[in-house]
Amino acid sequence: MYGSTRDKPALARGAGQHLLVVVGEPDVAELLSTTLELAGYRTSLAGTGTEALARLGQGRYDLVVLDAGLPDVESLGRERPVLAHRPPVLLLTAYDALDRLIPELGLGERDYVTKPFRMPEVLARVQVLLRGVRPGRPRDGSLGYRDLVLDDTLCEARRGTRTLDLTPAEYRLLRHLLVNAHRVLSKEQIGRYVWGDHRGDNAIEQLVSRLRRKVDREAPVLIHTRRGFGYWLGRADAET
């Protein structure tokens, strides 16, 4: 079952950011929009990918919540429309469709939750994607966690005042970890994101080790291993 509006959204709170909810099922669209608004966001609705693109061309949204199973999403992805503003997108997808992610709709940073979803997880993923976004302020191309900042505009990463000298693969890994803060990523997920295919475990372990030496010179340590599962980024004492 999907989460209900009685699921307490205290896990994550918005600050008036404007979200576009693109879902074909009226009941699910109402659940999402009602819960998101109770959590402090503003929402607009679209029932198809075509309608969503029209709205994105007419106004500015801080984030898009998109049902990846909509019938017209795949065809829109092939058209690769160009948008002046590329908001991040949270995809709602069936577990058995994960290998077909992610539809390229000309949007920005992407994350996903699997269906049937729980609203606390949706709220948490929205908060991660919106980190640093405030109403009326455009995204500046940066991601951050504590004193760790990654700037996509300059392709530069910093820890406090120190600039990190990262290779392209290390930069992509750090980006993936930041976007998925407090979520464990498997070696296969990391390999496919960083290189486009799954490399051997040893290659991924060496990559993570090199990145750790550059990121975690200062306390607190931010990159962690979950043995047998993968790697995650965040404060260990803040893990939930």
Q: Name the residue with higher pLDDT: 192 or 10.
A: 192
Residue 180: exposure state from Cβ atoms within 10 A (0-12, 13-18, ≥19): buried
Q: What pLDDT sits at residue 151?
A: 81
Task: Give residue 132's pLDDT.
Answer: 46
Q: Give the residue carrying structure tokens 């029932």.
A: 47
Distance separating alpha carbons of residues 203 and 209, to the nearest angstrom: 10
| Among the ranges given (55-64, 70-79, 154-163, 164-173), the one the predictor scored with the smallest mean pLDDT | 70-79
What is the model's pTM?
Answer: 0.52
- Beta strand spans in the chain (E): 18-22, 42-46, 63-67, 89-94, 110-115, 142-145, 148-151, 156-159, 162-164, 223-226, 230-233
Q: What is the pLDDT of residues 4-49, one digit of tens each?
A: 444 443 445 677 888 999 999 999 999 999 999 998 888 999 999 8
The residue length of the chain stands at 240
Tell me the two tokens of residue 160. 């406090």
Using CA atoms, how far residue 24 sits from 87, 88, 114, 149, in Å, is 20, 20, 16, 36
Q: Which helix (H) or strand (E) holds 29?
A: helix 26-38
Q: What mean pLDDT, rounded, does the chain reach?
A: 79
Sorted by where each starts, the structural domains of the chain and their CATH numbers stand as: 9-129 (3.40.50.2300), 142-238 (1.10.10.10)
